[in-house]
Amino acid sequence: MNKILLHPAAKPLLFLLCLAPFAWLLYAAFTDRLGANPPEALVRGTGDWALRFICIVLAVTPLRVISGWNALARYRRMTGLYVYFYVVLHLLCYGWFDMGFDFGEILADIAKRPFILVGFSAFVLLTPLAATSFNRAIKALGAKRWQALHRLVYLIAGLGLLHFFWMRAGKNNFNEVFVYAGIIALLLLWRLWYRFIGKKNKKGGQVRAAAQAPSR
């Protein structure tokens, strides 16, 4: 699997796969396949894909550690940028279809409605992560500060989930919210377990294996 993930064609293929939801929404919009309320379908569709890509980004490290497919690490940056891409599309669709790009009304709406404020806060926090997702930024910030900054993704995931929860609360429809909440909670709990228990067990196993290895 690592050989497949390291193949030169793998990254371009993943790029196209990540772009496919946008292509479908665009196609559906031009062919009148978005249902009775196309603007709402675009706003919600882009928001749904932003949340899905957050789950994908959070899943990269657990999957890499559990499977041993270390080459997965090279795809984390691309999937992270696609989170930002779909969040920006979500914000643009809201600003265009719901508010007509009236920035005064948009600011008033952000201040008035908590779920809009939470969603916009997630966008603001995500922006520096997208802006520093290249090698020069890592060198400029230093690895430790860069890692500390990019841990904001956990807070962003929580804000995105809260935004989705409040949006669905109006219609008392929480089925999808519980699915995303379960996935994100599981991925974050795994990280806590791995940081405080899993890493130590892994290092201990490596030390024991080295001690038991026959000397040459």
Q: Which residue in 89, 171, 87 sits closest to 122, CA to CA?
A: 87
- Report whether pLDDT(207) > 50: no
Nearest CA to 80 out of 131, 22, 20, 26 is that of 131
Taking the C-alpha atoms of residue 55 and residue 85, their distance in angstroms, rounded to an integer, is: 15
**Residue whose tokens read 């230093």:** 142
> Is 122 part of any domain?
yes
Please tell me the distance from the alpha carbon of residue 153 to that of residue 155, in angstroms, as a whole number: 5
Residue 141 scores a pLDDT above 80: yes
Tens of pLDDT along 157-201?
999 999 999 999 888 889 999 999 999 999 999 999 998 887 777
Summarised one tens digit per residue, pLDDT across range 32-51 is: 999 999 999 999 999 999 99
What is the residue range of 14's domain? 2-192
| Per-residue pLDDT band at 211 (split at 50, 70, 90) | very low
> How far is residue 14's CA from residue 183's CA, in Å, rounded to a whole number?
22
pLDDT tier at 210, thresholds 50, 70, 90: very low
Task: Please check whether residue 210 lies inside any domain of the structure.
Answer: no
Q: Is residue 162 part of a domain?
A: yes
* Confidence band for 202, pLDDT divided at 50, 70 and 90: low
Counting the structural domains of the chain, the total is 1
Query: What is the model's pLDDT at position 42?
Result: 97
pLDDT classification of 9: cutoffs 50, 70, 90? very high
Residue 44: phi, psi to the nearest 5?
Answer: -75, -35
What's the CA gap between 4 and 141, in Å, rounded? 32
pLDDT mean over 125-131: 96
Residue 67 burial (C-beta neighbours within 10 Å; 0-12, 13-18, 19+): exposed
Is the residue at 25 inside a domain? Answer: yes
